[in-house]
């Protein structure tokens, strides 16, 4: 993520204080400190696998789409 690289550049190259980086980014000082200590280049968010509400109807819907694709433009729904 470009945001982390900006924070790291300000801290390591331009030697800005954590308070100044927090002021510029509108993030808390604790968050800036956490990003700098972690050494991560990109943020990684864990997303839980959740089934879709349309999963029970997926076969029926894909069948409908296939039949509609063969029709002319004005006959499609």
pLDDT of res. 45: 73
Task: Give domain status of residue 36, yes or no.
Answer: yes
Average pLDDT over residues 44-60: 88
Residue 3 lies in a domain: yes
Query: Does 49 map to a domain?
Result: no
Residue 2 lies in a domain: yes
Q: What domain range is 15 assigned to?
A: 1-44
Looking at the chain, the whole-number percentage of residues with pLDDT higher than 90 is 51
pLDDT band at residue 1 using 50, 70 and 90 as cut-offs? low
Domain count for the chain, please give it.
1
Residue 4 lies in a domain: yes
* Per-residue H/E/C for the chain: CHHHHHHHHHHHCCCCCHHHHHHHHCCCHHHHHHHHHHCCCCCCCCCCCCCCCCHHHHHHHHHHHHHHHCCCHHHCC
* CA distance linking residue 20 with residue 11, whole number of Å: 10
Supply the pLDDT for residue 57. 94
Residue 14 belongs to some domain of the structure: yes
What does the mean pLDDT of the chain come to?
88
Report yes or no on 60 lying in a domain: no
């Amino acid at each position: 993520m470009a945001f982390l690289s900006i924070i790291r550049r300000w801290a390591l190259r331009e030697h800005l204080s954590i308070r100044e980086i927090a002021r510029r980014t509108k993030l808390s000082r604790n968050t800036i400190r956490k990003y700098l200590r972690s050494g991560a280049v990109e943020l990684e968010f864990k997303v839980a696998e959740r089934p879709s509400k349309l999963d029970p109807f997926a076969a029926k819907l894909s069948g409908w789409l296939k039949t509609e694709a063969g029709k002319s433009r004005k006959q499609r729904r």
